[in-house]
Amino acid sequence: TVYLPCHLSERNLPMTTALPINDSDRLSLLRSAASSHNRDQAAGRPCLSPATVEALSPLTAEFEAAIAGIAQAQANHQQALAAGDSALTALQAQVRHTWNSVHWRVRWQGVAPAVLAYYHLRPRHTPTLQGRAAWLEMADRLLAGDAGAVVDGYASAVDAPALQSARTDLASALDAINAAAHSLHSARQNGRRLRSQVDRLARHLSGDLRHALRDASPTDQQQIMRTYGVRFRRASAEPALATPRALASAPVMGWQLQPEKIATEPLPVKQ
């Protein structure tokens, strides 16, 4: 439990601007900032710098498209995975049917146990496979092994058309999964790039508003900045060392938002 001095209750703790924490908040900030800028521009009291205004509309459109692109890529990936699971189930059924047929012939029809090797089997044992690629490879090995068994005088144990069809379907499904995964990765990379740009623009927007509203009352500052989508949080009561990154949202008392400090490093001293 943190106990605050009587003059520093939670209610009158200093406030600090907060960056958006998710894509919905980022998009809401961009839209609110554009709407409020248009309103204030029409009223002859613009608050944002030309550079911020110039970046606002294109970034909003690009970020909206990126969010939609991520959602679509995720949906495509899920659909590809579902199709892959279905194709895998069909192939597994064909492979297991082949194995069961061979075991049944050896046990009940007197076929020589040597035939098991063509199908990668051992008496009372079937391979344990993990992953779609392993089952796909086993299908290829069974088709090749069955052809070899036929050449050596054994009856075919494979429904070749059905196994080949299932094998082709799974191979196509794996290609679709890989393509969907690549698209999803690219969409997420683009999203991360744009999130960084939106957060940077949010800091510039906050700085523009602090400068434009520096003579306004604390209450007016808060109310106007909120219309631009800026959000606030109460600062911690515990003292902390300021860092260059923290200065971007340094807390101030009584809503009086002052221009940001500039973090500098000491110059090198000549020896």
Confidence class for position 238, pLDDT limits 50, 70, 90: low
The first and second tokens of residue 60, run together, are: 């909003």
Please give the DSSP secondary-structure letter assigned to residue 245: T
Report the distance separating Cα 31 and Cα 56, nearest Å.
9
Give strand pairing partners of 233.
Answer: 16
The first and second tokens of residue 256, run together, are: 């009086």
pLDDT digits (tens, 9 = 90+) for 191-236: 999 999 999 999 999 999 999 999 988 888 889 999 999 988 776 6
Residue reference for tokens 């260059």? 244
Q: What is the dihedral of CA 73, 77, 79, 82, to 10 degrees?
A: -170
* pTM (two decimals): 0.72
For residues 79-90, one letter each, b for 16 or more C-beta atoms within 10 angstroms of the residue's C-beta and e for the rest, the string is ebeebbeebbeb
Average pLDDT, the chain: 84
Report the distance separating Cα 21 and Cα 199, nearest Å.
9
Report the distance separating Cα 204 and Cα 248, nearest Å.
9
Q: Are 25 and 206 in contact (CB under 8 A)?
A: no
Report the distance separating Cα 104 and Cα 257, nearest Å.
83
Residue reference for tokens 């007197």? 110
Confidence class for position 50, pLDDT limits 50, 70, 90: very high
pLDDT digits (tens, 9 = 90+) for 107-135: 999 999 999 999 999 888 889 999 999 99
For residues 237-252, one letter each, b for 16 or more C-beta atoms within 10 angstroms of the residue's C-beta and e for the rest, the string is eeeeeeeeeeebbebb
Count of beta carbons in the 10 Å neighbourhood of residue 99: 20
Maximum distance among all alpha carbons in the chain?
A: 99
pLDDT digits (tens, 9 = 90+) for 64-94: 999 999 999 999 999 999 999 999 999 999 9
For the cut 90, the answer to whether the pLDDT of residue 249 exceeds it is: no
In the chain, % of residues over pLDDT 70: 81
